[in-house]
Amino acid sequence: MSKLVKKQIDKQQISVAWRFYVVVGLIVLVYAGLLARSAYIQIIEPDMLKKQGDMRSLRTAAHTVQRGSIVDRNGRELAISVPVETVWADPKIIMENNALAMKEHWQALADVLGRNVNKLTSRIVKNPSKRFVYVERKVSPAMAKYIKELKIPGIHLRKESKRFYPSGEISAHVVGFTNVDDKGIEGVERVYDQLLTGTDGEKQYRKDAKGRKIEILSEQASTQPKDIVLSIDQRIQAIAYKELKGAVKAFKATSGSVVVTNAHTGEILALVNSPSYNPNNRRNTAIHRFRNRAITDFYEPGSTLKPLTAITALEFGSVKADSIIDTSPGWMRLGGRRVSDPINRGKLSITDILVNSSNMGTTKLALSVPKEFLLNKFFDAGFGEETGVGLVGESSGIMHDRQRWSKFELATLSWGHGVAATPLQLARFYSTLANGGIKKPLTIIKKDTLDTIPLRDVRIFSEQSSEQVVGMLENVVNEHTPNAKVEGYRVGGKTGTAIKAFAGGYGNEYVGLFAGIAPISNPEIVVVVVINEPGGDLYHGGEVAAPVFSRVMKGALRVLNIAPDAKRVADVRPVVSEEQPTMKVKQEQADA
CB of 238 to another protein, least distance (A): 4
Whether the bond between 307 and the residue before it is cis, its omega within 30 degrees of 0, is no
138 CB-near residues (< 8 Å, 6+ apart) = 84, 85, 86, 160, 162
Q: Residue 45 or 487: which CB sits closer to another protein?
A: 487
CB of 423 to another protein, least distance (A): 23
Task: Catalytic residue, from 303, 358, 465, 550: name it.
Answer: 303
DSSP state of 445: B
Kindly provide the b/e burial profile for residues 320-351, where b requires at least 16 CB atoms within 10 angstroms of the residue's own CB: ebeeebebeebebebeeeebbbeeebeebbbb
Q: Residue 276 or 304: which CB sits closer to another protein?
A: 276
**CA 238 – CA 169 distance, rounded (Å):** 10
CB of 281 to another protein, least distance (A): 14
498 within 8 A of 510, measured Cβ to Cβ: yes
Burial bucket for residue 156 (CB in 10 Å: 0-12, 13-18, 19+):
middle
**CA 567 – CA 186 distance, rounded (Å):** 44
Q: Residue 212 or 338: which CB sits closer to another protein?
A: 212
Residue type present at position 185: I
Kindly provide the b/e burial profile for residues 506-530, where b requires at least 16 CB atoms within 10 angstroms of the residue's own CB: eeebbbbbbbbbbbbeebbbbbbbb
CB of 230 to another protein, least distance (A): 15
258 within 8 A of 272, measured Cβ to Cβ: yes
CB of 588 to another protein, least distance (A): 9
DSSP state of 223: B
Q: Residue 23 or 569: which CB sits closer to another protein?
A: 569
CB of 564 to another protein, least distance (A): 6
CB of 549 to another protein, least distance (A): 18
**CA 116 – CA 348 distance, rounded (Å):** 78
| Known catalytic residue at 218 | no
DSSP character string of 499-558: EEEETTEEEEEEEEEEEEEE-TTS--EEEEEEEES--SS---HHHHTHHHHHHHHHHHHH
Q: Residue 215 or 463: which CB sits closer to another protein?
A: 215
Q: Residue 76 or 540: which CB sits closer to another protein?
A: 76
As a whole number of Å, the end-to-end CA separation of the chain is: 128
CB of 78 to another protein, least distance (A): 9
Helix, strand, coil % (nearest 5) of the chain?
45, 20, 35
Q: Residue 165 or 461: which CB sits closer to another protein?
A: 165
For residue 421, the cross-strand partners are 299
**Where along the sequence are the contacts to another protein (CB under 8 A)?**
66, 76-77, 80-83, 140-141, 164, 166-168, 205, 208, 212-216, 234-235, 238-239, 242, 487-488, 558, 563-564, 567, 569-572, 581-582, 585
Q: Residue 167 or 363: which CB sits closer to another protein?
A: 167
Active-site positions read 303
